[in-house]
Amino acid sequence: MEALRIRIPQRYQAGIAKLIALPNDSINELLSALDEMPTTFNLERLKSHISARVSAISMSDLEGIVDALSSLCFLRFDTDLSLSDFTEQIVKAINASGNENLRISGSGSERFKENLSKLLSGKLLSIAARAKSIILEHDHVFGRARVITDIRPVFRENTEHSPIAAVVVHMLKLHYIQDQQHKDIFVALDTVDIEALIESLKQAQEKADALKSTLALAQIPYIDAE
């Protein structure tokens, strides 16, 4: 079996460099913030949550650090490595990056692996990353939607005359992701279809609210996308 090879993308290298340089007090404050249960897997909201609880790290540094840590959380789930093996591979990737600001060795390497293990074990990012990976684990993942509405004329057999009537047509454009590719599908709807779709979405919302109440009674935290 080919050995796993991890690379550190350029966009995360600055955040990892900041993480390597953090003093113990800052690491401990960050650990405390990351050990709380997430209520969302929206990364921007998670950043706001963390920044409100961490005063020893500047907001600009914290942005890069959280981006890097969240990426590492997702990567760890994809690799299926144990935490110790994963942190070992990350250190190797850091030293192979060619970025002098990232090089660590000896006691610095052991300290970083220990801190990284603790940070990746924090509930906030690890559970949020797991929740997001579960909700995205589908063949087609919804991206966005748009409805284009227009009027289409109805003519007599003799099209030289003015139209005798008109109909309203809706075109539903669904943007979705499949195999990391962005795609579109167009579905024609009439007024009855629109009403049926609205009713189905209302029912879905009611079911979600009922399930949230069930989770609350069972004392199981609910993690939202927002």
pLDDT, position 174: 96
- For the cut 80, the answer to whether the pLDDT of residue 1 exceeds it is no
- The tally of domains found in the chain comes to 2
Please check whether residues 73 and 106 belong to one and the same domain. yes
| End residue of a domain, out of 78, 111, 135 | 135
**Cα–Cα distance, 62 to 58 (Å, whole number):** 6
> Would you say the pTM of this structure is higher than 0.85?
no
Express the helix, strand and coil content of the chain in percent, nearest 5 each.
Answer: 55, 15, 25
Of 52-61, 127-136, 187-196, 197-206, the range with the lowest mean pLDDT is 127-136
- For the cut 60, the answer to whether the pLDDT of residue 112 exceeds it is yes
Q: Is 72 contained in some domain?
A: yes
Region 34-54 average pLDDT: 92
Average pLDDT score, the chain = 90
Please check whether residues 48 and 75 belong to one and the same domain. yes
Please check whether residues 129 and 151 belong to one and the same domain. no
pLDDT, position 2: 43
Please check whether residues 59 and 89 belong to one and the same domain. yes
Nearest to 101 by CA among 59, 70, 64: 64
pLDDT digits (tens, 9 = 90+) for 151-194: 999 998 877 788 999 999 999 999 999 988 999 999 999 999 99
In 43-190, where does DSSP find H-type helix?
43-51, 59-79, 83-95, 106-121, 123-135
Please check whether residues 127 and 196 belong to one and the same domain. no
Q: Is 2 contained in some domain?
A: no
In which domain, by residue range, is 212 found? 147-217
Please check whether residues 115 and 14 belong to one and the same domain. yes
More confident residue, 225 or 48: 48
pLDDT, position 159: 76
Q: Is 140 contained in some domain?
A: no
Please check whether residues 98 and 186 belong to one and the same domain. no
Q: Is 15 contained in some domain?
A: yes
